[in-house]
Structure 1
């Protein structure tokens, strides 16, 4: 599929025009990314379609049971191309059934003995439903693991590892584009994986993710108001910043809650917890991850996730801000609402990389929330598509401009030197003709 991009109601002619526009956006006061599952595909992550296919392949009995009891349609289990159900609605229906069947189990306590067969049948259904829910959650965790060797390596991901090459390129370009006095870029993500953390560590870039501490890292939101500086610099550093801000809006595989506080653990310890969870038959979750369900909005009002969403909304409300979306499928309505509300900020610029966008803003195959944004024909909204070759994080890495090495004063000096050189060349040429 050829390159396709539209800004407002006007199509962009080619990638060069898009790159020039992105270069201008990176000069704004505030720059941020919103990354979804699609942004981790190149690193081994799964999209929701791949996640569901993996579930069907690894848990066929659980899938068949859900078909039998009406939780999913039969075509949702038809390999190799199953129809992916609405994952949020599926988890919601399972949790409603769990609540209802648990309530019914409580009613059998004082009933006569003739009700024992019905009680046993309900108990079996309840036990099976718990195992189905655990299997679904294991698929979600498995989709976020990326590569096992990254978890086990004591040195993390090496800088030469190509699995996170695009993430490294994007981070380097973003921090290098910051001008003196401008804040560090933000990275907001709905992913539980460690792609951004590992990419930043491999290039010695500091990550401010809301946790403070050396051996015990506790969530301290005031850390988002702090930055890094080079104490060896004389005067203000002319280009670049030294850290990024990272907000994991749905939690992380390395978070845990204990004694009413939230801590961040090392990847090695987190991997041990993950392996234990993956072996459970009736587990219901892991750490502070917000599993994909419509009720996740309620899960985001707690102390940690509520603070991260506040920072997300605050970022989009700041003047002269740009938010680039990549790999986000508009499946989270609570995030969609924040984005739509943020458009009331007249200086907010949105750039959306969508794998399904083919240049037609009315395409019914696009997510409803994206079609609504396109229908606005707002010149502050740019959508980039053209198929998977142009839609995921490798394309964003290619389109972002390379770091500038001259500021305005240096450009003036360069122009003066070039003009002087041209004068000298003309004088030499004229002297040769005399």
Structure 2
């Protein structure tokens, strides 16, 4: 690899790792770009130091895996455990299945109000460190402007006319936004069969690595900021059952009351309390979903097939009710006749705060860029509890928000980092570093036997043996 190409790929090949006994982030660089299936090789960055590698050492996956996999395995068996998934998951899955980048969401056109909407969207995005803003910022600002014009319109005909035009433009933008999400789903469904199956196999392995928890532990709670249905599709392929706030079968309805439903079973021939059914997780979509619709003053989930070509036919299933893209519950949109634009999002964020801010809780954030201040505040509050832990996994950090948040949070001993094109890349993460996607008691028993034979003697080989959890006889 030439010096020029090495310099061009310098930022791409940078990885940041902080886990186990690391007191500060360790930065290491990939040595060249593999043109075949040979495993990648790494070296520490020029100004980076750590306890497990010297500056001149060249190391590979065999050096990294014993440091990462047992650590993540132990964290995944915390008493309370949550997974926060951002758009990075959708991008990774789409690229794995199609070899193409997920279609971007371009800015919307709001006609005469375009300058006002874009100016305020840019201002608020820059204030929160998110660059120039995106279509979600536009939708949020347009909703606020529309509400203001509707209030003025009660006394001013010109304001009412502006409100009518803006409402029409907002409906068009929301419809285009929904079609963009559907295009991402369609591309994955229409991909070559072997690539599509590979993408879903990786998604299933990824989700089951976190959902495979012993029965004495609290359920995994999955939170996502995505509006698409990649996670739901992966759960169906995996045979996972997702518990959310929706109740019903034909057109499930969102319930504000938190119903702690769960799935249990009675083992044949055994009396006593029912046991937890495996393969069950709680699920919360913080920013709403493509198939959530505000209709008859209720939030309902409509049966839109994964990868459907058009959304409107499924919105027309509500009979006499006038339902269009304005009724889609895609954050931060809410139909104008709701008592507050915060419904149902306030309930969803209450779930996040209730799940995160508990002792002995671990939160793993994958593909989340820390661009949502309302989520960041919950994470900051969570880390004030000494027994909580945050793991950040990301392919990159283009705007530096992750590392800025890491420095701002301060409690570095409670934060682990896996950032980069190797440790944070979806495929290599599943292949080498995530826990085994199964509840494997045999592995724990093997670890107990090895520990009994070797006593307290430490060796490099023992680093790769998973530590048994307390319920399996290990030390607390």
| TM-score strictly above 0.5 | yes
User: In the alignment, which of 71, 75, 80 is matched to residue 25 of structure 1?
Assistant: 75
Q: Point out where structure 1 has 5 or more consecutive residues left out of the alignment.
A: 76-82, 110-118, 359-364, 420-434
User: In the alignment, which of 125, 135, 142 is matched to residue 94 of structure 1?
Assistant: 142
1:190–1:248 CA contact under 8 A, matched in 2: yes
Q: Point out where structure 2 has 5 or more consecutive residues left out of the alignment.
A: 1-12, 27-51, 53-62, 96-100, 123-130, 317-322, 456-476
Q: The residue matched to 1:335 in structure 2 has which SS?
A: helix
Residue 138 to residue 407, structure 1, CA distance change in 2 (3 Å): same
| 1:264 Cα deviation after fit | 2.8
1:354 aligns with 2:366: no
Per residue, is there more helix in 1 or in 2?
1
Deviations 1:49-91 (A, max 9, x none): x8995425xx6xx388666668359x9xxxxxxx843555534
1:33–1:325 CA contact under 8 A, matched in 2: yes
| 1:134 Cα deviation after fit | 3.3
1:317 aligns with 2:350: no
**2:278 & 2:132 partners in 1: Cα distance?**
42
Q: CA RMSD in A?
A: 4.5
1:33–1:187 CA contact under 8 A, matched in 2: yes
**1:289 & 1:199 partners in 2: Cα distance?**
21
Aligned to 2:16: 4
Aligned to 2:413: 379
Number of aligned residue pairs: 373
**1:94 & 1:63 partners in 2: Cα distance?**
8
| 1:37 Cα deviation after fit | 1.5
**1:357 & 1:149 partners in 2: Cα distance?**
26
Aligned to 1:182: 217
2:80–2:360 CA contact under 8 A, matched in 1: yes
**2:102 & 2:161 partners in 1: Cα distance?**
27
Aligned to 1:71: 118
1:274 aligns with 2:311: yes
1:289 aligns with 2:325: no
Q: The residue matched to 1:31 in structure 2 has which SS?
A: strand
Aligned to 1:112: none
Structure 1 segment 1-400 matched on structure 2, within 5 A: 1-7=13-19, 9-12=23-26, 15-16=64-65, 17-44=67-94, 54-55=105-106, 62=109, 71-72=118-119, 84-85=132-133, 87=135, 89-102=137-150, 107=155, 129-145=166-182, 146-148=184-186, 161-176=197-212, 178-220=213-255, 222-229=258-265, 231-232=267-268, 241-268=278-305, 274-275=311-312, 285-291=326-332, 301-302=342-343, 304-357=344-397, 365-367=399-401, 371-375=404-408, 376-387=410-421, 390-391=423-424, 393-398=426-431, 399-400=433-434
Residue 381 to residue 189, structure 1, CA distance change in 2 (3 Å): same
**1:85 & 1:269 partners in 2: Cα distance?**
28
Deviations 1:332-386 (A, max 9, x none): 221111111111221111011234349xxxxxx312x751333415211112212
* Higher relative contact order (Cα pairs below 8 Å, separated by 6+ residues): 1
| 1:413 Cα deviation after fit | 5.4
1:188–1:247 CA contact under 8 A, matched in 2: yes
| 1:269 Cα deviation after fit | 10
**1:407 & 1:233 partners in 2: Cα distance?**
27
Q: The residue matched to 1:245 in structure 2 has which SS?
A: strand
Aligned to 1:361: none
Deviations 1:155-198 (A, max 9, x none): xx99972333332112222233x124112211111112211211
Aligned to 1:422: none
Aligned to 1:424: none
Q: The residue matched to 2:83 in structure 1 has which SS?
A: strand
Deviations 1:127-149 (A, max 9, x none): 65445433442343234333238
**1:392 & 1:223 partners in 2: Cα distance?**
36
**2:324 & 2:203 partners in 1: Cα distance?**
32
Task: Name segments (4+ residues, structure 1) moved above 6 Å.
Answer: 63-67, 149-152, 157-160, 235-240, 414-419
1:253–1:286 CA contact under 8 A, matched in 2: no
**2:269 & 2:195 partners in 1: Cα distance?**
26
1:218–1:264 CA contact under 8 A, matched in 2: yes
Deviations 1:9-57 (A, max 9, x none): 4234663222232122112112221011121113449xxxx8995425x
| 1:107 Cα deviation after fit | 4.8
Q: The residue matched to 1:4 in structure 2 has which SS?
A: strand
Q: The residue matched to 1:385 in structure 2 has which SS?
A: strand
2:17–2:417 CA contact under 8 A, matched in 1: yes
Larger radius of gyration: 1
**1:70 & 1:160 partners in 2: Cα distance?**
39
**1:315 & 1:64 partners in 2: Cα distance?**
42
Residue 106 to residue 198, structure 1, CA distance change in 2 (3 Å): same
